[in-house]
Each structure stands twice: as structure tokens, then as C-alpha cells.
Amino acid sequence: MHRLLLLCCLWLLAAPPASGIFQRPTGTPAPPRLQYLLEPLHPTVHTQRGATATLPCVLRALPHNYRVKWSKVEPANYGESVIIITNGMYHKNYGPLSPRVHLRHSHRYDASLTITDVALEDEGRYRCQLVNGLEDESISLTLHLEGVVFPYQPSNGRYKFNYHEAKRACEQQDSRLATYQQLYKAWTEGLDWCNAGWILDGTVHYPIINSREPCGGRLLLPGVRTYGARDKQKDRFDAFCFTSALQGQVYFIRGHLNFKEAGQACRNHGATMAKVGQLYSAWKFSQLDRCDGGWLADGSVRYPITTPRQRCGGLPDPGVRSFGFPSKEMRTYGTYCFVGK
């Protein structure tokens, strides 16, 4: 009998509590994780280059002697760059973003950050941190730019860039090195490229839709293949660049022009020769569709296709086609010009 009672007691100790006992009643919200800051409804803010974007940060209460600090997370150097600090009455701006940021301050609890004339380098993760004496809490938000990723190599062939040269080459083409997230998204949208290229964090990748022998073999599944982190000084690859919406217009001038004449033709119209990133942006955001090869500022000849057709290269997918870097003396092509707003 005693043994039976002992077993019953042990069973009761081990059994889970009945529904509702020592548990939060169904439908009762969990206690807030944050004491002073509201969790944002949408942690990602979508925008385009040149637009105005606001990253929300709203206080649920105003503690005494508090400060709010906005910073941008910099994964490349494992740090954060301070953007603005406020105590609710006064604020101070810091860093290169300083001329383009302000606090929205639509009411006394609003510490949201507004960025005007959004630039390519503004994309990334931001942190709104509230400091109240020894207490510290923060929320993270991501600023996401809508854009397009394109592979880039110089006129002297593939695999010529070290990391720093690749970064500079993208910037010269009105773009910047793509992030892994941007490259991955471009792959999901159809980017298929067999040459490996640098991205912003110093790693090297290439996106494959159609598995084939020269690109790792037919047996490997489609995906973003990786070489991992490489020596930024010694190792040489192509580049994957990212650009967003244009602050201007790209248009075509017909003719049989050499490279020098093409540049003069654009200047005669008060414009400049378009850069590769500008042509990709016009293709992506303005649906520029032409079957005519045209000179660009880097000496390459390309043309944008949004509606594929047999007589325009014959490829089944939209894209920016390339004739490479022909002799600059050839009088075969027109030119693509860019005029800013």
C-alpha cells in the first residue's frame, strides 16, 4: 500500500500541470519584451535611391534623463557608426549621413529617423537604442533598396580585380558592390553567371540557375556557389555590382559612331555617355527596350531588352546584352546618353 502511494505521488510530481494551472490564460498577451520602445510592425523599410525613407522608432514612455542613439551597423568592420543622438529636446548629428538625416518627431514619443535623398550606401541595418541610466534597450531595422545586380569585368578580360579594384569599378559605373542578400535575390530572379565575383563583405560567389560542366558540373544543384572569403589584395575575380533607381534619364542616339564621336554626340545634347549601372537601372526601372547596340562610358557596347525577341539576340529572357569592348575606332554603333534631373 505504501509503495502504491509513493508511486502515485511521484507521478503527480512528474505530470505536467493541468490546462490553466500555473499557466497564462489563453488569449492573454505575453509581457512586452521592451519596456520603453515599441516593437516595429515592419522591421524592413523598402525604398529606392533618391527617395525619402523613415525608420520608425517610437517610445511607449518617456523615462527621466534618457537618450536615444541611432547608428548604422557596419558588418564589414564589425562595428557601428553613430548617426544621431537626442535627449528629446536637443540632438546632434554625426558622420557622413549627417546632412541628410533628421528626427521625424511628429509627436513627443517619436524618435523615428528620416533619411532624405537615399543613396546606395544607405542600405543596411540600423539600430535605435534607448539609454536610461544603467538601462539599455534597442530595436533593429533594415533599409532595403529596390535595385538590380549585374556582373562586371574590365576591358582586359575576366578575373582582373582585387577587392579594392572591384569596389572602385562598381562605384565608377554608378553602383556599388552587391551584398550577399542582393546577389541571392538576383539569383532567385534569374541571374545565371559562371564567373566568380567579389561582393561587399569581401567574399566571392557566382550564381547558377542552369547547372553545366564549365560551372562546377552538371551534378551540382543550382544555387549561389561560394569561394568564401579571399585575400583582398592578392586574389583576383570579377565584381557583382548593385544599382537602384536613376535620378535622370537614359536615351539612345542612333548613328554609326566611334567611341569619341559617341561621347561628343551626348555632349551636344547636354548629356554624358551612360554608365553601365545607369543602363541597367533604366532597363530595370524605366523598362528601356532597344535592339540597338550603343557605346557606354567604359568603352563597352550594350543594349537593354525587356521584351525578348528573335531578332534581338534570340535569348529567351529579358536582360542587358553585351558586345564586350570592341575597338573604339569602330563606326558601327550608336550611343546611350544620360541626363540628370
State what percent of residues in the chain have pLDDT above 70: 89
Read off the pLDDT of each residue in 302-323 and give the average, rounded to a whole number.
93
Residue 14 has pLDDT above 80, yes or no: no
Which pLDDT score, from 0 to 100, does residue 12 have? Answer: 33
pLDDT tens-digit series, residues 84-110 = 999 988 999 999 999 999 999 999 999
Domains 37-145 and 147-243 alike in fold: no
Write out the CATH class of domain 246-340: alpha beta
Tally Cβ neighbours within 10 Å of residue 163: 25
pTM of the complete model: 0.84
Question: Cell triple for residue 259?
Answer: 567611341
Q: What is the average pLDDT score of the chain?
A: 89
Q: Is 9 exposed, middle or buried (0-12, 13-18, 19+ CB in 10 A)?
A: exposed
pLDDT band at 78 (very low <50, low <70, confident <90, very high): low
Read off the pLDDT of each residue in 34-44 and give the average, rounded to a whole number.
92
Residue 20 has pLDDT above 50, yes or no: no
Among candidate residues 69, 202, 206, the one with its CA nearest the CA of residue 136 = 69
Please check whether residue 152 is in contact with residue 238, taking contact to mean a CB–CB distance below 8 angstroms.
yes
Q: How far apart are CA 179 and CA 28, in angstroms?
A: 41
Read off the pLDDT of each residue in 57-77 and give the average, rounded to a whole number.
89
- Choose the weakest-confidence range: 1-15, 177-191, 242-256: 1-15
CA dist list (Å): 253 to 8, 16, 329: 91, 77, 18
Question: Cell triple for residue 300?
Answer: 563597352
pLDDT tens-digit series, residues 262-310 = 999 999 999 999 999 999 999 999 999 999 999 999 999 999 999 999 8
183-186 long-range contacts, CB within 8 A, separation 24+: 183/149, 183/207, 183/224, 183/240, 184/224, 185/149, 186/148, 186/149
Cβ-based neighbours of 248, under 8 Å, separated by 6 or more: 278, 338, 339, 340, 341
Q: How far apart are CA 168 and CA 218, in angstroms?
A: 34
Residue 19 has pLDDT above 50, yes or no: no
Q: How far apart are CA 107 and CA 60, in angstroms?
A: 12
Which pLDDT score, from 0 to 100, does residue 273 have? Answer: 98
pLDDT band at 184 (very low <50, low <70, confident <90, very high): very high
Which pLDDT score, from 0 to 100, does residue 70 have? Answer: 97
Q: How far apart are CA 124 and CA 79, in angstroms?
A: 13
pLDDT band at 3 (very low <50, low <70, confident <90, very high): very low
Q: How far apart are CA 44 and CA 88, in angstroms?
A: 25
Please tell me the CATH code under which domain 147-243 is placed: 3.10.100.10
Please check whether residue 279 is in contact with residue 297, taking contact to mean a CB–CB distance below 8 angstroms.
no
Find which of 1-5, 33-37, 214-218, 295-299 is predicted with most confidence, using mean pLDDT: 295-299
Question: Cell triple for residue 280?
Answer: 541597367
Which pLDDT score, from 0 to 100, does residue 4 have? Answer: 36
Please tell me the CATH code under which domain 37-145 is placed: 2.60.40.10
Residue 17 has pLDDT above 50, yes or no: no
Which pLDDT score, from 0 to 100, does residue 24 have? Answer: 41
Which pLDDT score, from 0 to 100, does residue 11 have? Answer: 34
Residues in a beta bridge with 130: 68, 137
CA dist list (Å): 80 to 12, 71, 84, 126, 130: 52, 6, 12, 9, 15
Residue 77 has pLDDT above 90, yes or no: no
Among candidate residues 106, 108, 107, 104, the one with its CA nearest the CA of residue 70 = 104
Residues in a beta bridge with 135: 132
Q: How far apart are CA 50 and CA 68, in angstroms?
A: 26
H helix or E strand, kind and range, residue 84 = strand 79-86
Instruction: Give every strand in the sheet of 101-103, ordered side by side.
Output: 53-55, 113-115, 101-103
Read off the pLDDT of each residue in 59-88 and give the average, rounded to a whole number.
89
Read off the pLDDT of each residue in 317-334 and give the average, rounded to a whole number.
96
pLDDT band at 22 (very low <50, low <70, confident <90, very high): very low
pLDDT tens-digit series, residues 102-146 = 999 999 999 999 999 999 999 999 999 999 987 889 999 999 999
Residue 10 has pLDDT above 70, yes or no: no
Please report the DSSP string for 292-332 in residue order. Answer: --EE-TTS-EEEEESS--TTTT--SS-EEEE-----TT---
Residue-range domain boundaries for the chain: 37-145, 147-243, 246-340
pLDDT band at 235 (very low <50, low <70, confident <90, very high): very high
Residue 21 has pLDDT above 90, yes or no: no
Residue 196 has pLDDT above 70, yes or no: yes
Residue 207 has pLDDT above 80, yes or no: yes
